[in-house]
Amino acid sequence: MPLASVQEIKAGRAIQHGAMEFSTAPVDLDTVRRYRLQRLRTKMGELDVSGLLLFNQINTRYAVDATNMQIWCSHYETRCVFVALDGPVVLFDYANHPYLSEGIPTIDEYRVLPAFSFFGAGERCHDFVKEFAAQIEGLMKNHGGGNRRLAIDILSHTACDALRETGLELVEGEQIAETARAIKSKEELVLMQASMDVCEAGVLSMHEALEPGITENGLWAKLHETNIRLGGEWIETRLLSSGPRTNPWFRECSMRQIEKGDMVSFDTDLIGPYGYCSDMSRAWVCGEEPNDEQRRLYAKAYEQIEHNISVLKAGMTFREVSEKCWPIPDEFLANRYTTLIHGVGLADEYPNIIHCEDFDDKGYDGMIEVGMTLCVESVIGSEGGRECVKLEEQIIMTETGVERQSSYPFAMEML
């Protein structure tokens, strides 16, 4: 599709969102927050736990929607959320910044986390972690109704040992968060579309800037700039490459200058406004008409995407989906993408549906459900070939089938 037509399609879709306290969201954020917290508590009940302790900053965002240096805090055990099944939600924050959580109805209590990571506490970490464990045990005692089962997503063995020493039973908590996050409310889907609109505005800015001589990093910077300017948050990867660096896939962008006639493939992995991920991929040829081999690769990738979307229906098992997906020709099998289809929300998330060739060794089963948001993946490149094509489409599972969230046009001139 000509770039002018793409610009017309995307015109006016992406608006300035900005930080949450300075923006008018397209839906009531408190409704989203209460829905997400209830999802967590429903899953807690299914696993018979009375408390949930979340250190993964994606999960803390889901639970309470309060942020504080999300990337930085993900490096250290310095910020977490405790959710009682029948009791309060307590935010343990890095330092004393209560103003960062003001007005959020899903937070009942604000505390400062005793710094027990080695960075924060050094050799005193064993003393400080006992203080933290005592606070969690107190919450469980006061609000657990005698149930001592505490679910945790991620935590160091030092802190887990301190919690066990208080008599708590620790169980796996990541599954609670992942399965809760998998089903989106109608309000969440509106916020996800706002993120996708910003993402695709960034993709358009890359498309407009693509010309021989620009570096891969220079092109990737256009996506970052647009995302931040329009209220997005960060980008999880650097998956853009050109020419011979596209094959095999997963090389991150570099200072290589893109040459005329190069294939350019990318994967956005963009955390946009309201913390929602927009994960789509496209591939273009720089500066001239695609050659026959580039057309052949693109046509196969497009065929895989469209076929795999067409088979998706709510109620199918993951194994059924895997078995009905496009059979990858032997030529491209070695360089296939790591997964067929995966969930997306505040980040890439459950489920992860594996190729049928790998299912028995690496896959797990489950059910496609209404309200899931999924990403359908394709990488097509011959083993030893010069280039590959990376395509990906983000979709919503509905009662009647599939609705697309990503709408940036494919390069139909390549077919």
Q: What is 373-388 written as a DSSP string?
A: EEEEEEEE--TT-S--
Is the pLDDT at 1 greater than 60? The verdict is: no
86-to-132, 228, 356 alpha-carbon distances in Å: 21, 38, 42
Q: Could you tell me the two tokens for 252?
A: 């991150």
Is the pLDDT at 11 greater than 90? The verdict is: no
Residues 99-131: tens digit of each pLDDT: 999 999 999 999 999 999 888 888 888 899 999
How many residues in the chain? 415
Contact yes or no for 82/201 (Cβ under 8 A): no
Under the banding of pLDDT at 50, 70 and 90, the label for residue 5 is low
Q: Could you tell me the two tokens for 200?
A: 């695709």
H or E segment and range at residue 89:
strand 89-93
Q: Could you tell me the two tokens for 216?
A: 């891969």
Q: Among 16-30, 326-340, 352-366, which stretch is predicted with the lowest mean pLDDT?
A: 16-30
Average the pLDDT over 137-154 and give the result.
Answer: 97
- Helix, strand, coil percentages for the chain (3-state, nearest 5): 40, 20, 40
Average pLDDT, the chain: 95
Strand partners, 109: 90
Q: Residue 172 has what pLDDT?
A: 97
Output b/e per residue, 137-168; b: 16+ Cβ within 10 A: bebbeebbeeebbbbbbbbeeebbebbeebeb
Cα 297 from Cα 300, distance rounded (Å): 5
**Which residues neighbour 368 within 8 Å (Cβ) at sequence distance 6 or greater?**
312, 313, 314, 315, 316, 317, 318, 321, 397
Query: In which order are the strands placed within the sheet that holds 51-54?
Result: 109-112, 89-93, 80-84, 51-54, 149-152, 169-172
- For β-strands 149-152 and 263-267, DSSP reports them as unpaired
Residues 82-105: tens digit of each pLDDT: 999 999 999 999 999 999 999 999
Residues 267-318: tens digit of each pLDDT: 999 999 999 999 999 999 999 999 999 999 999 999 999 999 999 999 999 9
Q: Residue 121 has what pLDDT?
A: 84
Average the pLDDT over 355-368 and give the result.
Answer: 96
Cα 256 from Cα 279, distance rounded (Å): 24
Q: Residue 18 has what pLDDT?
A: 60
Q: Residue 17 has what pLDDT?
A: 73
Under the banding of pLDDT at 50, 70 and 90, the label for residue 15 is confident
Return the domain boundaries, the chain.
Answer: 21-180, 182-414
Q: Could you tell me the two tokens for 166?
A: 């208080």
How many beta carbons lie within 10 A of that of residue 415, not counting itself? 11
H or E segment and range at residue 180:
helix 174-181
| Domain at 21-180, CATH class | alpha beta
Q: Residue 12 has what pLDDT?
A: 56
What CATH number belongs to 182-414? 3.90.230.10
